[in-house]
Structure 1
Amino acid sequence: MNTETLKKTPLCTACEQAGGKMVDFHGWLLPVQFNSIIAEHKAVRESAGMFDVSHMGQVWVEGPDAWPFLQYVNTNQIKNTPACGTYSHITDEQGRIIDDAISFCLSADKFLVVVNAACVDKDVAWFKKHAEKFNVTITDDSAQWGMIALQGPKALAHAEKLVAGVADMGRFTIAEAEIFGTKGYITRTGYTGEDGVEIMLPAQAIVKVWDHLLQDGVKPCGLGARDVLRLEAGYLLNGVDADGSQTPYQAACGWVVKLAKENFVGKTALQAQKEAGIAQRLTGFVLTGAGVPRGGCKIFKDGAEIGYLTSGTYSPLLKGIGVGYAPAELPEECAVEIEIHGRLIPAKKVKTPFYKNRV
């Protein structure tokens, strides 16, 4: 691996010093694991773990039309109450998913949109294309920020030592904060199914937070554990579970489409699809036989191929789990088989999320 050509986050050196095994992730040098994926999974489910998510994008949408603009380029009803955030899909005219993102309202004319790392350039170009109709400015500020996701049942206790009052923040909210003399933001979302926060600070200051959390006993975690945790929690992995050819309805995220609101990009196509119905939907499966499913594995029923997995893994809680596209009418608990290394392994369809905690 030629690391010289890869982008590096402000926490790259700190991750390496903490023992991170670094890999190429969409052009970024990021840790896949530190100790073991199972140990890191256990830390997040039982205590607290932290992830370097500085590769995520931060895009500012500002101006008198900031909210109407975000309403237009998002499928969901974007909250315009200060401090509130909204998870949504950004779709093209055919209703196909470009990205999933969270829009945080700082004020009536200022929003922070957190987007996926691999989609920053594409999202910004898409925003600017549609911004011509609105009185807004679009600013990609991604390179200026570092971000740590602090997750787990004890995450808020650790966060309170940095910023008092974090535990009183509601889910999907944002607050300005000063940490170690530097101003930034705290958000209350997550991608693991556990409670927690994201800490956003200018790149030069985020290392201090990482070092503090390490000294406070928080376990550093990598992409491997993050993928297991998010799959257990039933979270979509854009670019994998939705590759640009699926709509929110096909990706089992119809709840983010608000057809009742005024016109938005993709509305006509999505309305037509909802009325006509879909043939295949992203569906959860649990192996009832031994094996570890992976993305690309074929799904069979009664000897006939009916679909394929987009994500699959070994879950310490549930053993072999995966999601993939299968007939939308497939009944719950339906017996199927997943092809793994040429062998058909018994499995069954289940509702997602596979794991749901008290958050």
Structure 2
Amino acid sequence: MDILADLETLKFEYGIPEEERFWLYLQSRSRGLLLEACAHAVFLCKLLRHLRMMLNVAQGSERPSSGPSNSDPDPASSEFKVGIIGGGRLGKQLAWSLLQLVPIPAENLRISTRRPDILEVLQKRGIQCFYHNSHLVGWANVVFLCCLPSQLPNICLEIQASVEKNCIVHSFASAIPLPRLRLLLNNHTSILRPMYYCVEDTDHIWGTNKDIPTALQDPVILQATSPFSSRGGITLNIKWLEGVLYAILNVCTERNVFYPKALEMLNKLFFMAQSGDSEKEQASCPSFQLKHFVNQIYVRNLFHRRPLPWFDLTTVQLKDTPLSQHLSASPALQDHLNYVYCKAFGISVTKQQPVVTTDSSSQQGTSRS
């Protein structure tokens, strides 16, 4: 409930002259960027959590679930650890989102910040909050950098000796480009950095009153955060999603999984048949193959019982890859990935149908629910 709904003089925009109200779109953009950042971090953690579950099952433990969803149990979650550096607006909202939407147990989520005393509410939920950046990165499987760009060089200097090769560092400091960030982290190869592009003309769909986890359960808002959407005036560079896919393969390589099994697990994460799909839909469901990630020469020379090579995620996000070409040439794959993204949050969307053309008109059979 908005307690300022009927109190016009107390609203933020009341004192702004009419000729300057154009700039109010920046307020909506700020909230949109916050929602996008939290949504993409949650999606990444859901995928990695389920991947670890499948890896443990492959080693002889329990049966895995069919893919990322909004409420299924996770027997392997105790092994998936997430760290956040920065306890400001983004860091706090990200922590709540990971707790509620992945969900990550409080004991598997830690925050390093110069002001841990202001995170009392999160500490009461069982999250450890302290100021020791190098200790945090040495503990976590994924670390989110939620700090100011001006703080990042010193933070990287603190953590570069402690960060393990398989620790994914996910940076939200947009002013620090990937090549510079890689150098600051002593050529670390597991870095993800989403790039968001904004336009001035926005749809104002982001809302103002709901907390972030609740807002991400709104179908309109959630679909606007999809990597393939530009709703709300914000677009994500799709190279981030490519980096996520290669990061999943790196996790399999680190666990010494042979490449056929690694591809099988990747396809289970993204292309497991849904319970409501028809036989035709299940048969036509796209899947990833080795040639979608490495060049043809490597495909011909890779032995069957070998892991994939270790991929430098910085290179993946900065250059064209076989996956870039495959993704751009397959609208059906893009639509399916959008479907999987929304499904991970418990939001059901209808997959795109083929274009049907008649003599009198053409209609695009696209339906989103």
TM-score, normalised to structure 1, is: 0.27
More strand by share: 1
More helix as a share of residues: 2
**Structure index of larger Rg:** 2
